[in-house]
Amino acid sequence: MIWYANRLTVDSRRPAADEMAGIFAGVGLMGSFWDPKADAWRAEP
Protein backbone atom coordinates (compact mmCIF):
# COMPACT_ATOMS: atom_id res chain seq x y z
CA MET A 1 0.00 0.00 0.00
CA ILE A 2 1.32 3.39 -0.97
CA TRP A 3 0.64 4.93 2.44
CA TYR A 4 3.38 2.79 4.00
CA ALA A 5 5.67 2.52 0.97
CA ASN A 6 8.60 4.26 2.72
CA ARG A 7 7.61 3.68 6.34
CA LEU A 8 10.85 1.93 7.31
CA THR A 9 13.22 4.36 5.60
CA VAL A 10 15.10 7.21 7.20
CA ASP A 11 13.28 9.80 5.08
CA SER A 12 9.81 8.47 5.93
CA ARG A 13 7.13 11.13 6.23
CA ARG A 14 3.39 11.43 6.44
CA PRO A 15 1.77 12.10 3.05
CA ALA A 16 0.77 15.72 2.39
CA ALA A 17 -2.96 16.53 2.26
CA ASP A 18 -3.06 16.43 -1.56
CA GLU A 19 -1.21 13.11 -1.56
CA MET A 20 -3.67 11.72 1.00
CA ALA A 21 -6.63 12.79 -1.14
CA GLY A 22 -5.08 11.03 -4.13
CA ILE A 23 -4.47 7.84 -2.14
CA PHE A 24 -8.03 7.83 -0.79
CA ALA A 25 -9.53 8.47 -4.24
CA GLY A 26 -7.36 5.73 -5.71
CA VAL A 27 -8.99 3.14 -3.47
CA GLY A 28 -12.50 4.53 -3.97
CA LEU A 29 -12.87 6.64 -0.82
CA MET A 30 -14.62 9.81 -1.97
CA GLY A 31 -16.50 12.69 -0.39
CA SER A 32 -15.78 15.36 2.18
CA PHE A 33 -15.30 12.82 4.97
CA TRP A 34 -12.15 11.56 3.22
CA ASP A 35 -10.87 15.03 2.30
CA PRO A 36 -7.98 15.84 4.69
CA LYS A 37 -8.53 19.55 4.07
CA ALA A 38 -12.30 19.47 4.74
CA ASP A 39 -13.75 21.28 7.70
CA ALA A 40 -16.52 18.74 8.35
CA TRP A 41 -16.24 15.29 9.91
CA ARG A 42 -19.39 13.70 8.61
CA ALA A 43 -20.25 11.44 5.72
CA GLU A 44 -22.30 12.82 2.88
CA PRO A 45 -25.75 11.24 2.46
* Alpha-carbon distances, residue 32 vs 16, 27, 35, 36 (angstroms): 17, 15, 5, 8
Tell me the per-residue pLDDT of 1-45, one tens digit each, with 9 for 90 and over.
677 777 888 888 888 999 999 999 999 999 888 899 887 666 555
Between CA 42 and CA 38 the distance in angstroms is 10
Number of domains observed in the structure of the chain = 1
| 3-state DSSP of the chain | CHHHCCCCCCCCCCCCHHHHHHHHHHCCCCCHHHCCCCCCCCCCC
Residue 44's pLDDT is: 56
Q: Which domain holds residue 23?
A: 2-34
- Find the distance separating the first CA and the last CA of the chain, reported in whole Å: 28
Decide: pTM greater than 0.75: no
